[in-house]
Amino acid sequence: MGNLADMNFKKTTYIIMGGTTGMGLSAALALCDNGANVLVVGRSLESCEKAEKQLGNRGIALSGDATDATTMQKAIQLAHDNFGIISGLFHVAGGSGRRWGDGPLDKITLEGWNKTMELNLTSMMLSNKAMVNYFLTHKTAGTILNMGSVLGYSPSPKYFVTHAYAAAKSAIIGFTKSIAAYYAEYNIRVNVIAPSLFITPMAKRAAEDENILSFLKTKQPLDGGRPGGSEDINNAVLMFLHPDSKFITGQVLAVDGGWTLSEGQY
Residue 202 confidence (pLDDT): 66
Does a structural domain hold residue 1?
no
Does a structural domain hold residue 245?
yes
Does a structural domain hold residue 241?
yes
Q: Round to whole Å and give the CA distance between 188 and 185.
A: 7
Q: Round to whole Å and give the CA distance between 177 and 262.
A: 26
CATH assignment at residue 26: 3.40.50.720
Per-residue pLDDT tens for 81-120?
Answer: 999 999 999 999 999 999 999 999 999 999 999 999 999 9
Per-residue pLDDT tens for 7-61?
Answer: 899 999 999 999 999 999 999 999 999 999 999 999 999 999 999 999 999 999 9
Instruction: Give the predicted TM-score (pTM) of the model.
Output: 0.95
Does a structural domain hold residue 266?
no
Burial (CB count <10 Å: 0-12, 13-18, 19+), residue 18: buried
Q: Round to whole Å and give the CA distance between 204 and 224.
A: 20
Where is 144: in which H helix or E strand?
A: strand 142-147
Residue 156 confidence (pLDDT): 95
Residue 3 confidence (pLDDT): 45
Range of the domain at 160: 13-257
Q: How many other β-carbons are positioned within 10 Å of the β-carbon of residue 240?
A: 23
Length of the chain equals: 266
* Residues annotated catalytic, as ranges: 165
Per-residue pLDDT tens for 212-259?
Answer: 999 999 999 999 999 999 999 999 999 999 999 999 999 999 999 999
Does a structural domain hold residue 144?
yes
Does a structural domain hold residue 25?
yes
Domains held by the chain: number: 1
Per-residue pLDDT tens for 145-156?
Answer: 999 999 999 999
Does a structural domain hold residue 28?
yes
Interval 53-72 mean pLDDT: 97
Does a structural domain hold residue 5?
no
How does the average pLDDT of the chain come out, rounded?
Answer: 95
Sheet holding 88-91, edge to edge: 59-63, 37-42, 13-17, 88-91, 142-147, 188-195, 252-255
Per-residue pLDDT tens for 179-221?
Answer: 999 999 999 999 999 999 998 766 677 878 899 999 999 999 9
Angle at the Cα of 209 (from 113 to 25), degrees rounded to 5? 65
Residue 200 confidence (pLDDT): 76
